[in-house]
A and B are shown apart, each in its own frame.
Chain A
Amino acid sequence: MMKNLIKSNTVIMLIFAAVVLTAPMWTAPIGANYPDLLQKFAIFGIFAVGYNILFGLTGYLSFGHAAFLGIGSYTAVWSFKLLTMNVVPAIILAVIVSGIFALIIGYLSLRRSGIYFSILTLAFAQMAYSLAYSVLTPITNGETGLQLEQQDPRVIDSMFGVVVTDGLPSTNLFGTLMSGYSGFYVAAAFLIFAFYISLKIFRSPFGMKLLAIKSNQTRMKYTGFNTKPYLLTAFIISGMYAGLAGGLLASIDPLAGAERMQWTASGEVVLMTIMGGVGTLIGPLLGAGIIKYLENIFSALNKSELTEIFSFMPEWLQTIVVNISNVFVGEGWHLTLGALFMLIVIFLPGGVMEGVTKIKDFILGIFGKGEDNRTAEIEGEAK
């Protein structure tokens, strides 16, 4: 009974929405309750949840998903420049345009599988990055990045008589500005929606077929499935998620630069997904949260702050601890990330979610040797 309740979509979505929308409160103890970081949690959460639909379900490791993030951002900024400062058309266009690019890149990359697929996606993303930096400067504004200007046409806005006289206009959702907490809540609403779609896909026959492709693609072909369109659809969906995330990034800060498409950005979403737990519903979100948290908190720390944190220690110990930990903060936060990633991959290959499952099993093991143990015994016999 309890199990069925937990499995129900409505219950999951209610809990999920409650947790996401109360994030400003429960992130306070870890010092993450400022809008900038919360927005990043939500946006990169969307990126990772979408990436997981491709990587988690089909097992196809794309190293070029940042390209769609960048394309989404550029599209959104162009929508602000040409149409309106309202974020709705910008986000819709970002999703559509990145979906079209995902169709093209996916169609070509999916001609190969395994490492060759990864290399192809990486090549396409780097191509997009280089193009944005060089020949496409008229569209991307090259190194400076695409920015708003006061004299932009904004056709729809001017139709409604919105005239900007001083400074740059701000992005808004039907009048509500996208800065600060309102920006977070808009991103959070999209995250809840994106998570719901992902949940539906995971629990649909379509999602099960994607998992079966990951498990044994040859068998799928002999079972009567044309696996190519399945893979391409998953690729396009995850590309559209990336476009949505890119569009939201631009909605909160209307600036799009080519560095958003660099391979390090593509690698970051892979790290998020693996750290959190590939193929789990919540895992990629946790991964995105952990990485963005480390990036923001650890990179902001410096020596004097560390000295303060460790001030309870005797002075000689404090000096040693501060000097060692100083390497891992500020510019060196990547070192923390790298170390954490290694620890997780070595000890919890299934990511943070595997840790959660292990803890859950441990607690269940203490409180009642129930059903779970019996199934394990039968499984043991079968082996």
Chain B
Amino acid sequence: MSNILEIKGVNKTFGGLHALQDVNLQIEEGETHAIIGPNGAGKSTLLNCCIGRLIPDNGSVTFNGKNMIGMEAHDINHAGMVRVFQTPEIFPELTLLENVMIPALAKRDGTFKFNPFKSLLKETAIHEEAMATLADFNLDRFHDHHAGSMSRGDKRRLELAMGLIQHPTLLLLDEPTAGMARHDTNATIDLLKSGKMGAMTKVIIEHDMHVVFSLADRISVLARGHIIATGTPEDIKNDPKVKEAYLGETEDE
């Protein structure tokens, strides 16, 4: 399998804090790769360095053979790397249907298109695709509701739908189940495992070990800005360094 995303020697400091230290990570095509680590280990910083929200001090981020560093967020999206945020980033004033149509339009129209005389009613292809995607996430019956009025769990599923409709080459998920009730978490795990979502290459940042071990093909453990281990769930479970740095701590909680 080929590497779809290669992070090499990435460093990032905030003032005196060395958030990422010489991070190397390869994401293989088709895998679900979980990044775990205690709070403040640098997981979100690492994702932000990939999608253009932060620029690493040095090192390289190569996606599909292209250098991503310094690229604008919207160009990174069109390169095929799509991020789903930890706190749901949706369009609260728009309906669920519109929320999903927007990313579908981005896929079709590119970064800018001026079509003020085209009627939305004639966007049947986009409309159908959006409805089908909402149906995949069991949200179609709420299609005309304002996204802001939905529950947190629904908002997160909506954001997954917004990511999925763009058919990304790589989907970056930042704690997709944080703040969800157990049954919602399980429903989300099923969603991420099956169908179109299941086949997609994914990077998941997650605290919940249940989620990580249900989904991940490989796991990388980040602690104090270092990747201390990468391997299959079995390897990680038995790695003494990981036990010391991470798993031990969580079991005490």
A residues contacting B by CB (< 8 A) are: 9, 197, 200-201, 203-209, 211-212, 214-216, 218-227, 229-230, 233, 237, 375, 378-379, 382-383
Contact = CB atoms under 8 A, between A and B. Distances in A.
Contacts of B114: 206, 233
Given A203-B119, A206-B113, A208-B102, 10 more contacts: A197-B116, A204-B115, A205-B120, A208-B101, A209-B102, A212-B94, A219-B90, A220-B102, A224-B78, A226-B111
B109 interface: yes
Given A216-B92, A383-B151, A221 B115 contact: no
8 contacts: A9-B119, A205-B101, A206-B118, A212-B98, A225-B74, A375-B145, A382-B154, A383-B151
- In the complex, the 4 A-B pairs of residues with the closest C-beta atoms, listed nearest first: A224-B77, A224-B106, A226-B111, A215-B91
Contacts of A201: 116
A220 B91 CA distance: 9
A219 B107 CA distance: 14
Contact of B119 (A204, A226, A229, A383): A204
B38 to A, nearest CB: 26
A201 B111 CA distance: 18
Given A205-B105, A212-B102, A224-B78, A382 B149 contact: yes
B246 interface: no
Interface of B: 51, 72-74, 77-78, 82-83, 85, 89-94, 98, 101-103, 105-107, 109-121, 123, 126, 142, 144-145, 149-151, 154, 162, 166
Contact of A223 (B72, B106, B117): B106
Contact of B109 (A205, A219, A221, A227): A205
A272 B14 CA distance: 47
Nearest to B92: A215
Given A204-B119, A209-B102, A226 B112 contact: yes
Contacts of B118: 204-206
A258 to B, nearest CB: 33
Nearest to B88: A219
Contacts of A203: 119-121
A219 B101 CA distance: 14
A200 B116 contact: yes
